[in-house]
Amino acid sequence: MKIAFVASDTEKSRQSLQELVKIYGQHTPADAEVIVALGGDGFMLHTLHRFMNSGKPVFGMRRGTVGFLMNDYQTHDLPKRISAATATVLHPLKMRAETTAGRVHEALAINEVSLLRQTRQSARIGITVNGQPKIDELVCDGVLLSTAAGSTAYNLSAHGPVLPIGSDVLALTPISPFRPRRWRGAILPANAQVRFEVHDHEKRPVSATADNFEVRHVKAVDVSEDKNSRMTLLFDPHHNLEDRIINEQFVF
């Protein structure tokens, strides 16, 4: 099996990279059948963005402190593990953000697109779904739209729902909402078109982030699932991503 190993910039990951290359050899990503990523979830997101639409599946092994998207680290029988792995296909969110200066920025998010206030003053954000206004003005620290794969990340910290892979839905979750006080978010179909409009944006500036790509001083953000882009993650059958997401709902 032709494997391309990539590793995060930590001593633990670099040592693992040397160990695995010595055993299995090293191929370029272009020539490889599979990419093996060594690190944590942050590095896995970086790897998925890097090799999106390459057709190369990614098998991660945990070498960081967090590894929700990673398999356990083992050096033996790696080709056999990869061959027996369960494949999970993910589609990212596409963010189109317009700034107060009139510039437009586009980016893809595997986990979530989030809007956050930039100053001490609360943000005031209007929310439209499929062209229909749903919330005239959400007074909050921010709001995010999360994929199922990202629902256990920032979304869960903001008290959003955990979404099983394959549910074909997105989580729309407010961050520290003040008004409407009782609104705790919504679950939307994956094909929903969501628009956020920032009110009073000169006085109450807001930034928009698609995973690690940030745009500051936005006045409107459109988000939808990008079915034209896809990534394939590989997981050990006994510990696949769907099982992890289900199990996360029973952690107290």
How far apart (Å, rounded) are the C-alpha atoms in residues 128 and 222? 9
Same domain, 102 and 39: no
pTM, two decimals, is 0.87
Same domain, 100 and 173: yes
pLDDT at residue 29 greater than cutoff 80: yes
With CA atoms as reference, report the closest residue to 57 among 84, 75, 76, 39.
Answer: 84
Domain of residue 97, CATH code = 2.60.200.30
What are the strands of the beta sheet with 93-99, ordered from one edge?
104-109, 93-99, 218-225, 194-198, 123-129, 132-140
Instruction: State the residue for tokens 């356990």.
Output: 72
Domain of residue 42, CATH code = 3.40.50.10330
Q: What is the mean pLDDT of residues 160-186?
A: 92
Same domain, 221 and 235: no
Same domain, 62 and 161: no
Encode pLDDT of 92-144 as tens digits. 999 999 999 999 999 999 999 999 999 999 999 999 999 999 999 999 999 99
Strands, E assignment, the chain: 3-7, 34-39, 58-62, 86-90, 93-99, 104-109, 112-117, 123-129, 132-140, 142-146, 169-175, 186-189, 194-198, 206-210, 213-215, 218-225, 231-235
Instruction: State the residue for tokens 């903001």.
Output: 158
Q: How many CB atoms lie within 10 A of CB 185?
A: 20
Predicted local distance difference test score (pLDDT) of residue 64: 82
> Pairing relation of β-strands 104-109 and 86-90?
unpaired
Contact 179, 138 (CB under 8 A): yes
52-66, 81-95, 212-226: lowest mean pLDDT where?
52-66
Same domain, 68 and 103: no
pLDDT at residue 215 greater than cutoff 90: yes
Same domain, 11 and 98: no
How far separated are the first and last CA of the chain, in Å rounded? Answer: 41
Predicted local distance difference test score (pLDDT) of residue 240: 67
Catalytic residues: 41
Same domain, 98 and 137: yes
Same domain, 77 and 143: no
Residues paired with 136 in a beta bridge: none
pLDDT at residue 248 greater than cutoff 80: no
With CA atoms as reference, report the closest residue to 176 among 112, 245, 224, 114.
Answer: 114
Quickly state the pLDDT bin for 242 (edges 50, 70, 90). Answer: confident
Same domain, 150 and 80: no
Quickly state the pLDDT bin for 66 (edges 50, 70, 90). Answer: low
CA angle 38, 43, 49 (to 5 degrees): 115
Same domain, 46 and 73: yes
Same domain, 141 and 17: no
**Number of domains forming the structure of the chain:** 2
pLDDT at residue 167 greater than cutoff 90: no
Same domain, 67 and 170: no
Host domain of residue 110? 93-225
Predicted local distance difference test score (pLDDT) of residue 56: 96
